[in-house]
Structure 1
Amino acid sequence: MTTTGTTRRARWFTTAGADPNADHQVFLFPHAGGTAPAYQSWAATLPSTMEVRTLQLPGRQERLGETPFTEVEPLLDALLEAFEAELDGRPYVLFGHSFGGLLAYRLAVAAAWNGLPAPALLAVSAWAPGLEPAADLARVSSMSDAELLARVAQLGLMAEGTTLDPATLASIMPALRGDFLVAGSLREDGEPAPCPVAAYCGALDPIAPPSGMATWEDHCPDFLGTAPFPDGHFYLFEHATAVQHSLNRHLRRLAARS
């Protein structure tokens, strides 16, 4: 079992200027191998009613010297501790893409198990419980670096045929491989999310197509539906603003209900 050092608040979640007057805290979870800057524009483009905090896992950028996690349970234990320190009583939203969606979902479940307030909204992009292609993808962790990068390229994360120099490979591969190992270690238990769920995906995604995202209906008390967008697994790169508008609409409608 791989572990890391301390769970210091400033290391796990980054902020682009905390705003205590915002109505909601919004926690963002990147894709496998991803980093906090993947969401660097969200703080500027989300409504001012949302304060953005982005997850930065061990093994990347300023945390490069820390060993990446390779199992889901120890990662969730450490993540929950860091996450609890971020909460300040305001309602909050969890949004994750792909591997980040898995983490956001399991963090919402862990928060409920440990007596913490449930999210006002769990928004999950390109991941759903029990998707067989996603489970198959987790097994690419056993591939060589070249095979793993080729598989990731097929999903649109980088151009196919891209070659990386040894220094870049050494900096990104442990985190990427570790994230796939974490995903592969998840054992589905059917536990429902303790809050409303909104789903997002690429219409051409081979891993999490719109039909697969519909499984969320069986994993939450209030499924708000799936919003498909053009493109594949990494549709979010081109359609982030539309997703942000959708999140804002969902929050306003949920607030009107209550």
Structure 2
Amino acid sequence: MEPILAQFQILAASITYNPPQIEIISNLTAQPLTAAAINADYWCRHLRAPVQFAASLETLAAVGYQFFVEIGPKPVLLGMGRHCLPEVEAVWLPSLRPGYDDWQQMLLSLAQLYVHGVSVDWSGFDQNYPRQLVSLPTYPFQRQRYWLDTLNTGHQSKTLSSPEQLETSTVVNLLLQGNIQQLVRQLEAVEDISADEIKLLPKLMEKLVQQHQLTTVSITDKNKASTLIEESSSNSIFIPKIVEIFQYEQLLKSDPGEQKQLLKTYFSQLLAKVAGISQDQLDWQQPLANLGLDSLMIADMRKHMESNLKIIVPVEYFAALSLEEILKQLLLLITGKSIPKQVDSNPEYLLQANIWLPRLQTNSQASFRLFCFPYAGAGASIFYSWIKDLPPEIELCPIQLPGRENRTGESPFTRIKPLIKTLASLLHPHLDIPFAFFGHSLGALLSFELARELRRLNFPAPSYLFVSGSRAPQIPDLDSPIHTLPEPQFKEALQRLNGTPEIILKDSNLMQLFLPALRSDFAMLETYFYTNEKPLECPIFGFGGLNDRRVSSEEIDAWHEQTQSYFKLQMFSDDHFFLHSAQSAMVQTISHEIQKTLILKT
């Protein structure tokens, strides 16, 4: 630079410099840049002096800066920044990233800043774009699924003159739903009704709806009854008001063949109502547990069936029987012809090779597999909804451990070492393409030890390890063990941990179903002993909850000691079970990272 230095100084001296409009840490001095310091000599020093990158970051960290955004076409300096500040808990975000839509990446990084409490000038951000402002409600959202089903319009061509047909006009539909308020509004719009007559409408409509429902329930013509049930199968609104009452009365009067059909229709409607599974998606030979129902859905179904069919349904039916087998047992219970079937603890379908990988399918587009390990007490179904957030080239492979969901009849593992050895041999045939492990809490520990076992056996190694809601394995768990507690104290401990749904804790039958897996999983956690080995070769990504009282961000950050590659940490604003509330954002992060590997390989 020496040959051009004199000419450069003359040029730099001819420029009038404005003072900085925002705070700047000079990478020449690693100190805040003042207006007085900006002169020709300053810029000449830039030509010859080394860049104080690490010292500049240390200055920022010393005054409390935790969020670092790299402005540029791709993230180059972020990795260097993490290396310079290994002890600092910081958020590192790119502005652009090759292979990703510019707006998508900028909005993703902006969203991360926003959820971490950074103030955003939304007016400035949107000033060049037409936006429609929408006022959000002031009440908190309820975490409940609502299904918006439209009425079947295929029957609207039927006429009132046909007594053999069911009407689906607006008024009839409102009667079917028991919607008194809307019926009153319909009649209020009629011009020749007086004010005094309008006052009588609510009472009249209530009586009319009651009479209509009683009349419908008392139908005796079996052909009409079957038609009513079949037509209502595509209309979930019909279920709570008429079909559930009608089913029980009609079942008792029907012949055996029709009983099975009526019960099958009822069961289909119940699955649609509780789990959103349509009738054309059902394979009646498939175990119910393989449909992806969680424990709350099963409890809700059981409650409806016992109320509507006047029977006691054993919990084991939901874990080990196919849909067809459940129908047979329900018919026996309803007709009183047999005591409930004792569920086989080792049914034939449990012997199938894919029982550990219930969702493993032949995917011609898949070039990467993501194996997912659940937390204590949970099953593979907690990952089934991830498929909507993953591209087709990533095959989702949730691991189903013994003792839960469709494997309830099997004895669960109580120690990690034998489980890891079993998993290594079972998964080996499926490691023929690049893959990654994801695990939450206990699942993170399992995925870590499995990765080390694969290395000992010289099997293929994972491309990534994604660990969630878990302290690093070298940090001892100092909490008192709970897996040996008597049942009342064990249930109290589960309540404190807030991971087991209240409906299970209060239902003794459900609790007996889930208890063995929960105890065994906590036994694996609480008897685990870490042994020191060489760090893994793959990168590790850590995820945590900012409100997690069990695992701190520092304990998750300590996972960086377990990799020879790089480590990244992402925190979400929720408790230990943030993987449900932050599912889309977390799966998107995992997907983006995996796709980077796929792009490099192509």
Q: Can you list the C-alpha shifts for 1:147-183, whole angstroms capped at 9, x where unaligned?
A: 3333333333146797432211111010011011112
| Unmatched segments (≥5 aa) in structure 2 | 1-345
Deviates more, 1:113-122 or 1:182-191: 182-191
Question: 1:15 deviation in Å?
Answer: 1.0
2:376 to 25, 32, 41: 32
Match in the other structure for 2:473: 129
Q: Give the alignment of 1:40-51 within 5 angstroms.
A: 40-51=384-395
Report % sequence identity: 27
Find out whether 1:71 has 2:415 as its counterpart: yes
SS in structure 1 of the partner of residue 358 of structure 2: strand
Structure label with greater radius of gyration = 2
SS in structure 1 of the partner of residue 371 of structure 2: strand
Question: 1:145 deviation in Å?
Answer: 2.7
Match in the other structure for 1:186: 528
Q: Can you list the C-alpha shifts for 1:76-123, whole angstroms capped at 9, x where unaligned?
A: 111111111322x21001100000101111111111111111101110
Deviates more, 1:211-220 or 1:139-148: 139-148
Q: Give the alignment of 1:84-163 within 5 angstroms.
A: 84-87=428-431, 89-127=432-470, 128-132=472-476, 135-137=477-479, 139-158=481-500, 163=505
Larger strand fraction of residues: 1
**Structure 2 Cα separation of the partners of residues 253 and 85 of structure 1:** 25
**Structure 2 Cα separation of the partners of residues 114 and 142 of structure 1:** 34
SS in structure 2 of the partner of residue 13 of structure 1: coil
Question: 1:211 deviation in Å?
Answer: 1.1
**Structure 1 Cα separation of the partners of residues 528 and 512 of structure 2:** 26
State whether residues 435 and 464 of structure 2, in contact with CA within 8 Å, keep that contact through their aligned partners in structure 1. Answer: yes
Find out whether 1:57 has 2:401 as its counterpart: yes
State whether residues 7 and 82 of structure 1, in contact with CA within 8 Å, keep that contact through their aligned partners in structure 2. Answer: no
State whether residues 156 and 232 of structure 1, in contact with CA within 8 Å, keep that contact through their aligned partners in structure 2. Answer: no
Over 3 Å counting, the alpha-carbon distance change for 1:47 and 1:145 in structure 2 is: farther
Question: 1:195 deviation in Å?
Answer: 1.2
**Structure 1 Cα separation of the partners of residues 523 and 500 of structure 2:** 20
Match in the other structure for 2:511: 169
SS in structure 2 of the partner of residue 41 of structure 1: helix
Over 3 Å counting, the alpha-carbon distance change for 1:115 and 1:190 in structure 2 is: same
Question: 1:8 deviation in Å?
Answer: 5.3
**Structure 1 Cα separation of the partners of residues 570 and 480 of structure 2:** 24
**Structure 1 Cα separation of the partners of residues 505 and 515 of structure 2:** 13
Over 3 Å counting, the alpha-carbon distance change for 1:138 and 1:92 in structure 2 is: farther
Q: Can you list the C-alpha shifts for 1:185-240, whole angstroms capped at 9, x where unaligned?
A: 22111332331111101012122221111111111112331100011110111001
Question: 1:9 deviation in Å?
Answer: 3.0
| Unmatched segments (≥5 aa) in structure 1 | none
Q: Give the alignment of 1:160-239 within 5 angstroms.
A: 163-191=505-533, 192-239=535-582
Question: 1:39 deviation in Å?
Answer: 0.8
State whether residues 131 and 208 of structure 1, in contact with CA within 8 Å, keep that contact through their aligned partners in structure 2. Answer: no
SS in structure 2 of the partner of residue 177 of structure 1: helix
SS in structure 2 of the partner of residue 96 of structure 1: strand
Greater RCO, CA 8 A, separation 6+:
1
The runs of at least 4 aligned residues of structure 1 exceeding 4 Å deviation read 5-8, 159-162, 254-258
**Structure 2 Cα separation of the partners of residues 92 and 234 of structure 1:** 24
Give the TM-score, by structure 2 length: 0.40
Over 3 Å counting, the alpha-carbon distance change for 1:68 and 1:137 in structure 2 is: farther
